[in-house]
């Protein structure tokens, strides 16, 4: 498997499941600003730079030792046996910013 560089991931196509929620974007941006400073916000793209653990592993990366996840929330639809949405609930997810991951070496 060829591992893309972080630069290639950030410049490439969308790799996350981000659904264009402005509230989610603001929540994660606030944490990035707190950890890496306001100047880092120019590099934040919710479609490419803040991904789940599983997404990073799929791309050949893992969180660096002692790195802390960014917290985000997704809304999960609850469906009945026919597939009809009967409610929804928030679920917290952990995201790792590109600055907190490293390539998996074998």
Domain ranges of the chain: 6-103
Blockwise average pLDDT, block size 10, the chain, 106 residues: 86 91 94 96 95 95 96 92 93 96 89
User: pTM for the full model?
Assistant: 0.87
Short-list 95, 100, 6, CA closest to 51: 95
Residue 19 Cα distances to 4, 11, 32, 33, 37, angstroms: 24, 19, 19, 21, 25
């Amino acid at each position: 498997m060829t591992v893309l560089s972080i630069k290639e991931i950030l410049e490439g196509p969308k790799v996350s499941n981000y659904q264009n929620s402005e509230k989610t974007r603001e929540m994660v941006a606030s944490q990035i600003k707190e950890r890496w400073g306001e100047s880092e916000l120019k590099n934040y793209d919710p479609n490419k730079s803040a991904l789940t653990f599983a997404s990073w592993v799929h791309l050949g990366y893992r969180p660096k030792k002692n790195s802390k996840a960014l917290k985000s929330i997704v809304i999960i639809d609850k469906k009945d046996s026919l597939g009809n949405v009967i409610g929804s609930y928030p679920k917290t997810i952990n995201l790792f910013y590109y600055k907190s991951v490293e390539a998996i070496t074998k």
